[in-house]
Structure 1
C-alpha cells in the first residue's frame, strides 16, 4: 500500500440458504486498521445479478488504474433453494459475472463473460491479478473438466485455469494453471517484499486417505512460475474447523499482512495477521468483528476520499462491527 490509502473495502457474500445470500455486499473500515468494519447498505446486497444463474458468490474486486475503473468479478452460481451441488460441478455456468464502476457507487449492469472451455462443469472463484511481465490481467478460476460428450455421471476434481484480459470483456482461451490431480480451488496471491505468496484451498494431506479442508500457502517468484514451495499446509488449523476462500492484503503502513480465511458454513471469515507472511506464521485476531457470516470475498485499499464517498452513499443504512477486546 501507499500513504494515499486510508482504509479497506471488503466485497463478500454471506452464509445461508436464503434468496439474498448469494449476492454481493460491501463492508468498510473506519480507519487504516482492519479490526472493525462498517457493513454498508444495512447489510443488504449492493450488487445483484440478473444474468446467468441470477446468483453470485466469491466476489473479487480490483482497481484497474490503466482504465480508471474498479472491476468486480464473481462466480455465476445460485444454489438456493435446492443446494444441488452435483449439478453445480457437472453442468454449472462456464461464465463469470462482471461489474465496472468509476467511483465504487454507480456500477454497470452485471454482464456474463464466458471464460471456461466447453468441457468445464463449473467456473468458480474468479480472481484477477496484473502481470507486469505480460502487461495484462491474469484471471484465475477453478473448474472441473470433462471430455467431449461425457455424460458427467461422476464428479471429477477441480483444478485451476488461467485466462488473460486487458479489458475484462475479451479473454484468451483458458489454460490449465494448476492441476495436482486432486481438488484445488480459490487460488490467490500476496506480493510481499520481492516475493510472492500463493494461497489455495488444497485438499491434499499427508495421508492419502484423508482430504484436508484447510488452506495451503506456497512461496514463489512470479504467478506463472513453477518454483512455488510449500511453507504451510493447513492454515486455519486450531482456530477454525475448516477454511477456504483465502483473501490476503498488506497493512496500510506495509509493516504486516492480513489474511482472511472462510470457515464456510459456520462463522464465515476470520482474520489473521503476520509481520513475516512468507513464513506461513499467522496470528488469529479473534477480537476482530467482521460482518456476520461474511464469506469468500476480497479486500482492496481505499483512499480517505473514496471512504467518504462510500459513507455518504450508504451512511443512513450502515452499521458498525467493533473489535471485542475481551475476546
Structure 2
C-alpha cells in the first residue's frame, strides 16, 4: 500500500507564530500542501514559548506518536533573556525538550517539558529519534555544548528510552576532532545506521557517517562528501531524510543563506543511503512556503485524509 508523508517543521518569521508546530502533507514526497492554511497546528505555551527543530516518531513500544522539539524562541528570547547573543543561548538556553504525544496525529496532548541530563549542559538543540532494533529501544540524540569544555565546540549526545518518560543518562554519540557538530539525523537501511550531521568547519557542510549500531561508533563516508562538493559551504544545516515507496531516499537540507522567508529546505535524491550519492533535485519538488528544520514521517492514506480534513481551529491562535 502506498504511503503518504507528514512534514513537521517551523517557519522562519520574526513574529512568535513562526516558532510553533506546523504540519504539511504529501502523497508522493515531492509535492507538498499546507495543513491548517499554513497556520500552526500546535503552540508552545511553556518554557521559552517557542519551538524549533522538530522530530516525530511512531513508537513501536507505546503505539503513540511523539513530537520532540528544541525549547527556544528567538522571537521572544533573542531580544529578551539572551541579549542578542547566540553564545548566551548556547550556554544558558533551555535544558529541556518540548514534547507532544498523540494516538492519531490530530488529537495531541498538551506540551510538556522533558529535562535530559543536568545543568552542565548548554542549550539542548535539534532532537532526533531513531529506533534501535538491536536493543529494542529509542535513541534520542541532539547537539549541545557542555561545561566540560567551557561550552566550546558542540558534540552529539544521546539518551535511550522505551516509554518516552524515563531516559538514560546522556552519553557522547559523536564528536568531531576539528570542529563542533550539530543537527544530527539518523536513519536505518538494511541493518546499517546512517548519521547525517552538520560540521561547523573543516568542512562547514553536512557530512554523512555510517555504523552497524545506532549509538555508533560512526565512520565518515567519502562518497557523500564527493556528491556534495558543489554545495556551498556555510549555507545549509538541519538535514532530514525519508525513504520513498520506490526505495529511493530524499534528503532535505535547510538553506539559510538569505534572511527571512527565502530560507527553507532544498531537496536531494539518492538510490540508497549506502551509496552516499545524492543529486540536487529542486525541479522535482514543490513547497507552499519555506519549511524550516523538521522531520518527515511516512503515514497511511487514512492518516493523510484525517490530517487534511481535521478542523485545527481550536489548536491555538490563528
- TM-score, structure 1 as length reference: 0.85
Q: Does 1:36 align with 2:31?
A: yes
Deviations along 1:140-188, one digit per CA (max 9) or x if unpaired, are 01110014xx9x6xx5111111111111111111112212242101111
5 Å-filtered alignment, 1:100-179, equals 100-147=101-148, 156-179=152-175
Structure 2 partner of 1:324: none
- 2:206 matches 1:215: yes
| 3-state SS, counterpart of residue 74 of structure 2 | coil
SS at match of 2:142: strand
Q: Name the residue aligned to 2:16.
A: 19
Report how far residue 239 of structure 1 moved.
4.8
CA RMSD in angstroms comes to 2.1
Q: Any idea what SS the aligned residue of 2:87 has?
A: helix
Q: Deviations over 1:280-315 (max 9, x none)?
A: 211112121124121110001010110110111159
1:180-223 Cα distance to aligned partner (Å, 9 max, x none): 24210111122223432210001242xxxxxx332001122222
Aligned 8 A contact 1:214 1:234 in 2: no
Provide the C-alpha distance between the structure 2 equivalents of 1:41 and 1:136, rounded to a whole number of angstroms: 33
Question: What is the match of residue 284 of structure 1?
Answer: 280
Shift of 1:230: 2.4
Q: What are structure 2's unaligned runs of at least 5 residues?
A: 314-318
C-alpha distance in 2 between matches for 1:91 and 1:108: 27
Distance 1:290 1:240, change over 3 A: farther
Distance in 2 separating the partners of 1:310 and 1:234: 39
Equivalent pair of 2:61/2:162 in contact (CA under 8 Å): no
Conservation of the 8 A alpha-carbon contact between 2:16 and 2:73: no
**Match of 1:319?**
none
- Where 1:186 maps in the other structure, the secondary structure is strand
- Give the structure with the higher percent helix: 2
Q: Structure 1 residue 252 and structure 2 residue 245: aligned?
A: yes
Q: 1:102, CA displacement in angstroms?
A: 0.6
Give me the whole-angstrom Cα distance separating, in 2, the residues matched to 1:48 and 1:246.
24
Per-residue deviation at 1:125? 0.6
Task: State the Cα distance separating 1:243 from its structure 2 match.
Answer: 1.1
Q: Please, which runs of 5 or more residues in structure 1 have no aligned partner?
A: 206-211, 317-327
Give the SS at the match of 2:294: strand
- Out of 61, 65, 73, the residue aligned to residue 56 of structure 2 is 61
Q: How far does residue 91 in structure 1 lie from its aligned partner after superposition?
A: 0.4
Q: Give me the whole-angstrom Cα distance separating, in 2, the residues matched to 1:315 and 1:135.
A: 35
